[in-house]
Copies of this chain bind each other. A is one copy, B any other.
């Protein structure tokens, strides 16, 4: 349960994230703490890795926010996922050489780059850590599925309520939420690109949620006033996030 103070903040946030999805033994945490990294700070709206790239390192979000996306031939954007501190959005590049999508910052962010080589060495030495990371990529896929059902089959209001719930729960899992409130660095245009909606329609649906007194969303802070109500409107069931760690559990 302890989080040694001598840890680098980079290792610390990664361990906190992994412990939110799976229990970790001391030696496994030590193993993770041996990972070398190079920290870089990037401004907002900057590509980190691009479709077609063949990265030789993975990117850990330490501070800030990022998203993965891809453009259609007509230039429309689909965002696949949002990433917060603790996430390694391009972990897949460890086993899939060529990027089939891009990764970018959504606000000024601090990123830690970990060489594939070192990561592979740690995974060989510590197979339990390999399993946790595999598990992480599987949860990633579960989130894709959940967004898919939203985009394909749910109303705009439901989708938006759902993603609000998801981000809050995930933020809480790594200790970045304060009760039912958290930072909200996502613009309405970005919500639209994530959920297959126009900015205008996102705006109107958000007003709908506000008028039902479910949320407050001012500036860059999301505050959920009626969690049960929001969950219900968003058909949100956190099972798919598989938060079975030894850290705090989400509501």
Contact = CB atoms under 8 A, between A and B. Distances in A.
Interface of A: 68, 70, 72-73, 76-78, 80, 92, 95-98, 100-101, 124, 127, 130-131, 134-135, 137-142, 144-149, 151-154, 195-196, 235, 239-240, 242, 244
B140 A141 contact: yes
A92 B148 contact: no
A54 to B, nearest CB: 12
17 contacts: A77-B153, A80-B145, A92-B138, A95-B131, A95-B134, A95-B135, A100-B146, A100-B240, A124-B127, A127-B127, A137-B137, A140-B141, A141-B144, A144-B145, A148-B151, A151-B152, A152-B196
B148 A101 contact: no
A250 to B, nearest CB: 15
Contacts of A139: 96
Given A124-B127, A140-B141, A141-B144, A149 B70 contact: yes
Chain A interface mostly helix, strand, loop or mixed? helix
A6 B177 CA distance: 58
Given A72-B154, A130-B130, 19 more contacts: A78-B152, A80-B149, A92-B138, A92-B142, A95-B131, A95-B134, A96-B135, A100-B142, A100-B145, A100-B146, A127-B127, A137-B137, A141-B144, A144-B145, A144-B148, A151-B152, A151-B196, A152-B195, A152-B196
Nearest to A134: B134
B240 A148 contact: no
Which of A95, A239, A242 has the most C-beta atoms of chain B within 10 angstroms of its own C-beta?
Answer: A95
Interface centre among A80, A130, A152 (most CB of B within 10 A): A152
Contacts of A92: 138, 141-142
